[in-house]
Amino acid sequence: MPKRSLHVLIDNLKTVYFPGDTITGRVQFDVDVALTVKSIVLKFVGWAHVHWTGDNKRRG
């Protein structure tokens, strides 16, 4: 079986991303035999958890 590995390398890796942030980087695909590739599709899926402590009183 051919040896293959895929790595997604993200520039300026951050802990938190916000809507509209641009993420740049590269995809590194290593193989030990020649392959013909028509396309590579990446799909990023994330989740969020929000938590805070303190006074819940509205100001104003």
| Residue-wise pLDDT tens digits, 2-54 | 788 989 999 988 888 888 889 899 989 899 998 888 988 888 888 877 777 87
Task: Give the Å distances, CA to CA, from 52 to 17, 46, 48, 49, 56.
Answer: 18, 20, 13, 10, 10
Q: Taking 70 as the threshold, does the pLDDT of residue 59 lie above it?
A: no
Q: Is residue 59 part of a domain?
A: no
State the pTM of this model. Answer: 0.53
Q: What is the pLDDT of residue 15?
A: 83
Provide the number of structural domains found in the chain: 1
Asked, for residue 58, whether it belongs to a domain, the answer is no
Range of the domain at 5: 1-50
Kindly state whether residue 27 falls inside one of the protein's structural domains. Answer: yes
Q: Does 20 fall in a domain?
A: yes
What pLDDT score does 60 carry? 60
Residue 58 confidence (pLDDT): 67
Q: Give the Å distances, CA to CA, from 11 to 30, 41, 57, 60.
A: 19, 19, 40, 41
pLDDT at residue number 45: 85
